[in-house]
Amino acid sequence: MKQLTYLNDAGGVLGWDQQVTMPEGGTPARSKQSSALSAVTHERLTDDRVGEWLDALDDTDLSGGQRAVVREIRREHERAVEVPEDLVTEISETASNALPVWEEAKAEDDFDAFAPTLEKMIELKREYAAAIDPDRDPYEVLFEEYEPYLGLDTAERVLERLRDELVPLIDEIEDSDATLADPFADGEYGEAAQEETVRAALDELGYDWERGRLDTAPHPFSTGTQFDARVTTRFDPQDPMGAIGSTIHEFGHATYTQGLPREQYGTPLGQSRDLTVHESQSRLWENHVGRSRPFWDRFADTVDEHLGTDASAREFYEAANQIYPDNLIRVEADELTYHMHIILRFEIERDLIAGDLDVEEVPGVWNDKMEEYLGVRPETDSEGCLQDIHWTHGSLGYFPTYSLGSVLAAQLYASAEEAIDDLDGKIRSGEFDPLHEWLTENVHRHGCRYETDDLVAEATGESFTADYFLDYAHGKFGDLYDL
């Protein structure tokens, strides 16, 4: 089973290389290499002997850690064996073929060209869910691929609450007369200067360069193991704040990975918990640190120095916290409206899987919901329902974990603030070790030892809740926008 992890991680290296260093011509060979690796890992994971080993372990006396290992491997094994190999292959091939179709449809603003592919993918994912458990809501089964333990009902409850409380908050902000500073508004910032800036941010936050590196990628991501957890970013000449935020976001992912116990490498105890927890770590650093006043008290001079601006900590802090509801694009959204982008995707994909919505209705429903939640209507599908790659990949049920992660970030950060004396002051003076230590102690070192809800309870003393996120949002933006 350790070999399986090693082979999966080898696949991760191939993926990083493909996105960061591989020349364009390499695609055909890389696809074959990655598929061969996936075939090998799938074959091992579904081997009958794995089931026999797991059954044999049922009768033995196991420690808590050992029970967790068995639980996680059993879960992976059982899901994998239920899905016919042909279906796995068909989904993977449909996704491969869908990519250029989606890319062209997006470039040409032609949803009709993409619709049959989306239709097919939805059908295949329904089959996939039915293979795993024909008696349950298929969307619930799909969601559990990305967040196995929090439950779709929790996700639904939280998302509805975000919608109900954030829509009025965003409205208030729109009606507010406050104007936030934007020191980058009129400049152009070269790639070299931006790279120095984000490297300085990583230095400041305590990124372990011995076990990581920074590169650029068209779609920033983080990948790796506790021995080598890498970060990517991208640079837009008009938007250095975007690069800073996205780098700190990926740093949050990487620092979680770096904090996993090295001696457990290869077992679930040395692996990160699922997407909600991973996203909580990226959002905690991006939002609760990187968009905080104490961080900018610390970091403003460094930015002025590298980017030639002459702005105060307060001005950068305001720039990092601009709310702009007229933005149509999820990955460019601010901290509040971001959740509206998630909620509309969640509602649409849930209805698509349930058969309550036809593919051809997607563009209309998308635009209606954008108007309802954010008061803005996309003029094209490229800026609307064609903008994200997730459905092309077959990742239906993935989007909710983005919001759940943000919500969890706030809950964890509140506990860290409780536990660490004067955390703001420490950040202001560049002392990030106490926060790293708290996160490692309460989240990272556990790997997959606890189910998500138990991990949250162990770390914060409470069940998963949106209270902290909403308090934080009302507090910060109420203050910034004089509400």
Are the CB atoms for 150 and 276 separated by under 8 Å? Answer: yes
Q: Which of 139, 103, 164 is nearest to 353 (CA)?
A: 139
Q: Is 1 in the site for a copy of itself (CB under 8 A)?
A: no
Q: Is 422 in the site for a copy of itself (CB under 8 A)?
A: no
Are the CB atoms for 149 and 274 separated by under 8 Å? Answer: yes
Q: To the nearest whole angstrom, how small is the minimum distance from the Cβ of residue 226 to a copy of itself?
A: 7
Residue 76, Cβ neighbours under 10 Å: how many? Answer: 17
Q: Is 30 in the site for a copy of itself (CB under 8 A)?
A: yes
Residue 177 one-letter amino acid:
D
- 205-234: contacts with a copy of itself (CB under 8 A): 208-213, 224-228, 230
Q: To the nearest whole angstrom, how small is the minimum distance from the Cβ of residue 157 to a copy of itself?
A: 39
Nearer to a copy of itself, 144 or 228 (CB): 228
Residue 58 one-letter amino acid:
D
Q: Which of 422, 421, 423, 414 is nearest to 461 (CA)?
A: 414
Q: Which of 157, 231, 238 is nearest to 201 (CA)?
A: 231
Q: Which stretch binds a copy of itself (CB under 8 A): 6-14, 125-133, 181-189, 246-254?
A: 6-14
Q: Which of 197, 182, 192, 430 is nearest to 303 (CA)?
A: 197
Among this protein's residues, is 250 annotated catalytic? yes
253 labelled ligand-binding: yes
Q: Which stretch binds a copy of itself (CB under 8 A): 31-39, 69-77, 90-98, 384-392?
A: 31-39
Of residues 140, 144, 145, 250, which has the active-site annotation?
250
The single residue among 1, 19, 33, 332 that binds a copy of itself, judged by CB under 8 A, is 33
Nearer to a copy of itself, 86 or 263 (CB): 263
Strand 222-225 to strand 228-233: parallel, antiparallel, or no bridges (unpaired)? antiparallel
Q: To the nearest whole angstrom, how small is the minimum distance from the Cβ of residue 23 to a copy of itself?
A: 5
Q: Tokens 């905690």 identify what position?
A: 284
Q: What angle do CA 273, 278, 282 make, to 5 degrees?
A: 160
Q: To the nearest whole angstrom, how small is the minimum distance from the Cβ of residue 190 to a copy of itself?
A: 17
The single residue among 191, 262, 331, 425 that binds a copy of itself, judged by CB under 8 A, is 262
In the numeric block, which tokens belong to residue 342? 């998630």
Q: To the nearest whole angstrom, how small is the minimum distance from the Cβ of residue 254 to a copy of itself?
A: 11
Nearer to a copy of itself, 1 or 365 (CB): 1
Q: Is 265 in the site for a copy of itself (CB under 8 A)?
A: yes
Nearer to a copy of itself, 265 or 413 (CB): 265
Q: Is 23 in the site for a copy of itself (CB under 8 A)?
A: yes
Nearer to a copy of itself, 265 or 481 (CB): 265
Q: Is 130 in the site for a copy of itself (CB under 8 A)?
A: no
The single residue among 51, 151, 261, 266 that binds a copy of itself, judged by CB under 8 A, is 266
Q: To the nearest whole angstrom, how small is the minimum distance from the Cβ of residue 16 to a copy of itself?
A: 8
Are the CB atoms for 162 and 466 separated by under 8 Å? Answer: yes
Q: Which of 260, 250, 258, 256 is nearest to 199 (CA)?
A: 250
The single residue among 1, 13, 101, 389 that binds a copy of itself, judged by CB under 8 A, is 13
State the maximum Cα–Cα separation within the chain, in Å, rounded to a whole number.
68
Q: Is 27 in the site for a copy of itself (CB under 8 A)?
A: yes
Q: Is 28 in the site for a copy of itself (CB under 8 A)?
A: yes
Q: Is 250 in the site for a copy of itself (CB under 8 A)?
A: no
Q: Is 39 in the site for a copy of itself (CB under 8 A)?
A: yes
219 labelled ligand-binding: no
Strand 214-216 to strand 228-233: parallel, antiparallel, or no bridges (unpaired)? parallel
Residues 6+ apart with CB under 8 A from 87: 124, 127, 128, 131
Residues 6+ apart with CB under 8 A from 19: 217, 218, 219, 221, 232
Find the helix or strand (DSSP H, E) in which 223 lies: strand 222-225
Q: What angle do CA 72, 67, 64 make, to 5 degrees?
A: 125
Beta-bridge partners for 232: 215
Nearer to a copy of itself, 33 or 66 (CB): 33
Q: To the nearest whole angstrom, how small is the minimum distance from the Cβ of residue 11 to a copy of itself?
A: 8
CA dist list (Å): 464 to 269, 408, 461? 22, 7, 10
Q: Tokens 């081997």 identify what position?
A: 47
Nearer to a copy of itself, 17 or 360 (CB): 17
Nearer to a copy of itself, 202 or 352 (CB): 202
279 labelled ligand-binding: yes
Q: How far is it, in rounded angstroms, from Cα 155 to Cα 367? A: 23
Show binding-site residues. Answer: 249, 253, 279
Contact residues toward a copy of itself (CB under 8 A) are: 2-3, 6-7, 9-11, 13-14, 16-17, 21-30, 32-37, 39-40, 208-213, 224-228, 230, 262, 265-266
Show binding-site residues for Zn(2+). Answer: 249, 253, 279
Report, as residue numbers or ranges, the catalytic residues.
Answer: 250
